[in-house]
Amino acid sequence: MGTQKKYILTEDSIIESSVPVGEFRKYFKKTIGNDYDKNFVNFQKWLNSNTGKTVKKAVEGYYKELDANNGDKLIGEIVEDIGQLLKEDRFNYISKENKKFINEFTIQLKLFGYGFGGQIGGGFCWGNNMIIYSQTGVKNEKVIARIYIRDKGVIIWGGKENNYENSIVLRLFFDNINKHTEYIERTPSHIKSLFVNDQGICPYICDHYSEKCHNRKIYSINGKQIEKCGYYFSITDPKTEHIKDYIDVLKEFHVKKLSKK
């Protein structure tokens, strides 16, 4: 039998997904003391929102948030209003225009049963922060969209440098695309282009099960076969005036239609 990997956390350790949440629980309980359990509503969501920070910075943020709350709000509590969340100082780098988009997009998704879980987490290699949208009130929360939020600068992840400009990126998720080709061919150009542009075009000559392929999509639009893999269906700095179209295409793929009798 293999031995279980041991994790030794220090104040300089980086909060990242490769370390089990339970290890962070032990560290914070030891560091914060007996108040640990009663002050958190959802430790894991709070931890995710601190991804990329050192443990020391997260602990400092904990005490700062505790002082600011004055007992009125527990740490890790779900915030339903994303506009309220975006007013926090940590999001001052997001432009007014991008905050407007995020707020309106979130409101429109909520109208047909999809939410952001009340948290804006770390962005990993994708940016400074990330919002994940999934269906609410169900056991298996399928992700249908993400927003990557980026400040100008370099983010190092996995030893690789990622250079970003201040922006947001809306990423949409679609399956069984061939079932929706007639709809796609009728959509406005800024929606149709997601499916026919060069973003994510597969550079390999390989079969569907090749190890080189990641999340491969094969479908046909206007009689032309398209193969995409990896990173696709993303819009940098999406426009607020296009929100209805983004919502409509998500509904087409993710909202079950009533069957005709």
Cα dist. 147→54, 108, 168 in Å?
Answer: 23, 14, 7
Rounded average pLDDT over 38-53? 68
Q: Any idea where the domains of the chain sit in the sequence? A: 7-77, 82-173+235-254, 177-232
pLDDT greater than 60 at residue 4: no
What stretch of H or E contains 193? helix 189-196
pLDDT greater than 60 at residue 259: no
Grade residue 36 by pLDDT with cuts at 50, 70 and 90: low
Grade residue 215 by pLDDT with cuts at 50, 70 and 90: confident
What is the spatial distance between Cα 219 and Cα 175, in angstroms, rounded to a whole number?
A: 10
What is the spatial distance between Cα 160 and Cα 155, in angstroms, rounded to a whole number?
A: 8
Q: Residues 65-99: pLDDT tens digits?
A: 766 655 544 455 555 789 988 988 889 999 999 99
- Alpha helices (runs of H) in 2-115, residue ranges in sequence order: 21-32, 36-39, 43-48, 55-69, 82-85, 96-110
Grade residue 261 by pLDDT with cuts at 50, 70 and 90: very low
Grade residue 164 by pLDDT with cuts at 50, 70 and 90: confident
Grade residue 40 by pLDDT with cuts at 50, 70 and 90: low
What is the spatial distance between Cα 17 and Cα 91, in angstroms, rounded to a whole number?
A: 22
Rounded average pLDDT over 20-36? 76
